[in-house]
A and B are shown apart, each in its own frame.
Chain A
């Protein structure tokens, strides 16, 4: 594994070409003040003009750019908008205001193996999960053997997923999600998959992606590992950008306020 200083050294392939652009992005969740569960109730309320919403801003006028090849980290307290930001970038949520532009294909590593079906075999789930991630038949066939090998499942690949241990299905989920080198990789606190040996293997794979020029957006509460891995950090606070810059400085400012 490379040392911290090696990782912090600016990498040659970084050119200032934006791959993700957030321009004045706001995301509001409308939360009804009271729960309205039936159409009848809803219709009555609309007629009475009584549907009241509380507006909750998960992101508030956020503008930033991520450059191609960069490892970009997001830090902040719980509820600061970190996950919302990942969702806005990966097309899951469309912002209520402002715009998001992305110049590349995104591989989301959120909730690995979420689409697995317990009754289907590992083999069948590899194709199902790959399809959920937006890959086609040939793309999955070309990496199938490699996925089986990386996930260390051996003969279990023909058994239904319900017979797997949680570690096994997490390994399979990671192997499917990282089977292709993505242009943009989104990581949400998932570096704790499997045993120690597998964690090292998965970390090596992610570092290999970075070396090959993939852009990485990551969220983690482990501040020290964020300093070690990221080129730049953004600190989110109640949906707004507090600071963007050198990881060491941003973490120092964040710690200064929160510890």
Chain B
């Protein structure tokens, strides 16, 4: 394809509409902030809500077209981007996470002066990056998406550095994150060396019919790319940065940071494994399964000994990454279950971190368990929400968490990973211990003081919706599962 083809190609705007709306909002918010220097953040709120809303409408339109089969051209921008079921679902999940994340971050945004507008802009930008990642059909595109998303997050981690000990978190995140990106891009280079292309499908197309060919260069490239992405999703043994970063970063944005990075990372991972290297499934499936088991066991064990709720959530995130990898290892047959798990878990993650920001303060670093003692009496709504989220994350029935885990187990068992299911089952029992410990602190111990925790209006709505969705999907999980499978 030469330069002129590229220019004459009709650009499929619908493929990038959600990203464009978010980008326009970024410019609008920053421009307004720069020009007007306002004291309040009311206009910011309006602009952001409008932009995120329009972006959500665009995703809905993508879904509608995909459902009707009228999506004009699956690929666009010279095959850089693809708009298929999974990219639409990733867009949707990211928009939901962004909206929830903004709701929880809002007290922090309004309290930090000019940095407030930047926080909004960075959250939106990183969403754009991860959306691009989920839609990439080209490894360079995927890398660019990854970097847009990640670099925004590095800055976000340090955005409140005067107030907190976020310096360390930010630097650590930046150094280790860049290292992971470097590994990834090295993998891309080797891929190019082996195939002469950076299209994700290149290997598939070149070696079609030569199933037995396993060029060692490609295997190395696959390993590097996968490791780079496993860093982003905090799978063990590439997780060591996560607890420090999620403890140190300002509480208001931590939930968004962790959830968005996971969605983007898994989207990229599945793109590469399912689309690019499906022929080598026999090679990568056992390895991913091993990493899944390791993540589940290690994350659970380390979470048990945490005294800080945010560190606990970070380690439990390692275990959850392992659970999602159980589905990834099971191959493309598990795509529906993986999407369900990611959707269900990411909103619970945002809510859980959001609650820690309400309890310990929006710009705080760390959230000691002692701060939760007696919360059930002081702030029943907040404590009830956190209890529900904890019960959901632990995978108890009547919550979406159970269905998500059950789906993983079932698909993994049918795909021959029975041992992995058994490991995961045992670990989930151990996991009850640390999830319930928070519930014990909140409901079964009495506090000395009885100061109520103030919960703002946006956070209240966000918590209520997460709670309703968690229970609703625990009972009528078909609603989301059908929604997913209709366009996959």
- Same complex: no
* Chain B residues near A (Cβ < 8 Å): none
Binding site for B on A (CB under 8 A): none
